[in-house]
Amino acid sequence: MFKDRKEAGIKLAGILSKTVHAPCIIYALPRGGVPVGYEIAMKMKCPLEIISVKKIGAPDDEELALGAVTEGDPKELFLNEYLITQIHIDKTRLDKIISRKSHEASELGNLYRHGREMILNPDTVAIVVDDGIATGATVISAVNFLKSRGQKRIIIATPVVEAETARSLKSMVDNIISVELPNEMYSVGEFYRNFSQVTDQEVMVAMDNLRYFLNQN
């Protein structure tokens, strides 16, 4: 159990700083992954970037993740074909949801970066960070986004990930690092005492503060 995302990030940063000994870039998934990624980037003195990813929820149940889609052109789309088959969603309706979520992801990416280009360097270690991973849909989209842009080494880092999900993700990346690895996980929030929503303003402040810190050091 973590007090909040800050504490979770500090604990995760302690593990990563002993594991990764090469230049790296932190790619946090907004919004919840940013406070965690911020602590890692501060500890390791490396850039904090974001990959804007939107979950594709079922039409009648937004919490049921049918997949996820990233910002960018080209965007990266991951779909849970089993779930899509089970709920019998119409393809036209699904395509409209994907288009809307892709647009939202790109709009948020531009907002968080103040319109600047995303930091990409295929020769560094890319560390994809979220505040927790249950199904893995958003992380899969983010990893594929980096791979499509030539990233050579990718690590997934998260305070908590369900053991089965971690096993399924392991083949996609060089390593998965977590603080907690539960066998059962109903929600990410159950592992935090304070799991309040992170605001867009908090995301932008974190990125701006870290950029200033790195420029001073």
Instruction: Identify whether residues 137 and 73 lie together within a single domain.
Output: no
Does 121 map to a domain? no
Q: What is the per-residue pLDDT for 189?
A: 94
Residues 36 and 82 in one domain: no
Cα separation, 129 vs 199, whole angstroms? 17
Distance between first and last Cα of the chain: 33
Backbone angles phi and psi of 139, in degrees to 5: -65, -40
Question: What share of the chain has pLDDT > 70, as a percent?
Answer: 98
Question: Cβ-count burial of 88 within 10 angstroms (0-12 exposed, 13-18 middle, 19+ buried)?
Answer: exposed
Residues 136 and 45 grouped into a single domain = yes
Asked, for residue 120, whether it belongs to a domain, the answer is no
pLDDT digits (tens, 9 = 90+) for 40-77: 999 999 999 999 999 998 888 777 889 999 999 999 99
**181 and 155 within one domain:** yes
Do both 131 and 211 map to the same domain? Answer: yes
Over residues 172-205, the pLDDT tens digits come to: 999 999 999 999 998 999 999 999 999 999 999 9
Q: Are residues 151 and 67 in the same domain?
A: no
Identify whether residues 200 and 135 lie together within a single domain. Answer: yes
**Which domain, by its residues, includes 200?**
5-51+126-216
